[in-house]
Every structure is written in C-alpha cells, then in structure tokens.
Structure 1
Amino acid sequence: MSKLVFIERDGTRREVEAPDGLSVMEVAHLHGIDLEGACEGSLACATCHVIVDAAWFDKLNPASENEEDMLDMAFGVTATSRLGCQIRMCEEFSGLTVTLPPKEED
C-alpha cells in the first residue's frame, strides 16, 4: 500500500494510506479529507483540483487535453495543478504530496 500526503487548506500535513489503483480524489474521500469531486471522477468538473508538489509533478503521466480543459475552470490553478480524479495511486507514487487549493470566495 502506498502513502499519500495531503497539505490541507489550513496547512495541516496529513499522511494517509493510499490503496494502489485508487485516485487521489478517492483516497481523500476514504480519509475524510475535504476534496469535493462533484462529478465523481468522470472528468466533468474541476472540484477535485489539487496542487501537486513540484518534486512530483514531472513523475506523473501528463494531463490529457480534457483534464487541461477542466482545469481552466478551477479556482487557484498553478503550474503544477492537476485533477485528483486523474492521478491513480501506485507504488511508484508512494509519498506523493498534494496541496488542497484555497476555496473560491463566495
């Protein structure tokens, strides 16, 4: 089983177990981490937007054109932004660190 590190919006660092094959979004839901995922991973929204630690970003598979299009709608996008539903955990990604972006102001 892999490890995944979430940096929550308040700066809290949470290292959790991440079963291989689950997406970052699914792992967040498994551990009660505040990452929405309104479309349940169907690549139809950007509510599971995470900011990947720069040290890990180039190790991930590149984002698809559809993912890039969805990221265009996300709040607080950075150069290392990805959708959590599109990153599948595997042994190679054990230790992956992602930061939850700030919530959009109402």
Structure 2
Amino acid sequence: MPHITYIDAAGHSATHNLPEGWNLMLGAINNGVDGIVGECGGSCTCATCHCYVDEARLSDLPPVGEAEASMLEFVAAERRPNSRLACQIKATAALEGLVLHLPDTQE
C-alpha cells in the first residue's frame, strides 16, 4: 500500500496508506482529508478533486487523458502545469511517497 501525502492550502499535511488500485480522490475522502470534494464520486465530471502534484514526480503518473484535460479547464483554483484530478490517479507501488498539494478552493 503506497503512502500518499496530502497537504492542504494552509500547510497541514496528512499521510495515508492507500490500497493499490484506489484513486487518490477516494483515498482522500475515505481518510477525511479536507480540500478534496469529489462531487461526482470519481467519474471525472466535476473537477472538485483538483490537486498539484510535486513536479519531480509528474513522470511517475500516467499521462493526462482527454476527459481529464477537458475537466482541468474548469478547476476553481489556478491551473498549473502540475495540476491533476485526484480521481484520475490510481494508487500504485510506483507512487510510494507521492505528495499532493491541495488548492485553497474546489468550488
């Protein structure tokens, strides 16, 4: 189970072990992480699980798909080159130690 760290806009961090195959939005919600809303339940239709991935780890992630790229156009906070939707990232052993920074708003 990879350890994933979520850091909110105020700088508070929480590290959780996520079962492999879970998406990182589900991991955040199931562990009570503030800053991830996930209104659509992970179907890539709401952009309320926007996060910023540490740039050094971007190459560890699968590429942004067409649906995710479309939804990233609608994020409430600033979109950056390292913006991703947590619902589109699956927990795998390769993501051990991944850090996600959460924006100050999702809506």
When normalised by structure 1's length, the TM-score is 0.93
Q: Structure 1 regions of 5+ residues with no counterpart?
A: none
Specify the alignment match of 1:9 in structure 2: 9
Aligned length: 105
Write the deviation string for residues 11-68 of structure 1: whole angstroms up to 9, x where unpaired: 0121111111111100001110121010111111100111101111121000111101
Q: 1:47 to 1:104 in 2, by over 3 A?
A: closer
More divergent stretch after superposition (5-14 vs 65-74): 5-14
Identity, in percent, stands at 36
What secondary structure is seen at the aligned counterpart in 2 of 1:66? helix
Q: Quick one: distance in 2 between partners of 1:19 and 1:9?
A: 25
Aligned counterpart, 1:51: 52
Task: For 2:20 and 2:30, locate their aligned partners in 1 and report how far apart those are by CA, in whole Å.
Answer: 13
Per the alignment, residue 38 of structure 2 pairs with: 37
Distance 2:13 2:49 in 1: 18
CA distance in 2, matches of 1:61, 1:84: 12
Q: What is the TM-score of this pair, normalised by structure 2?
A: 0.92
The corresponding residue for 2:66 is 65
Letter in 1 for 2:28: A
Could you say if the C-alpha distance between residues 32 and 58 of structure 1 is closer, same or farther in structure 2, counting changes exceeding 3 Å? same
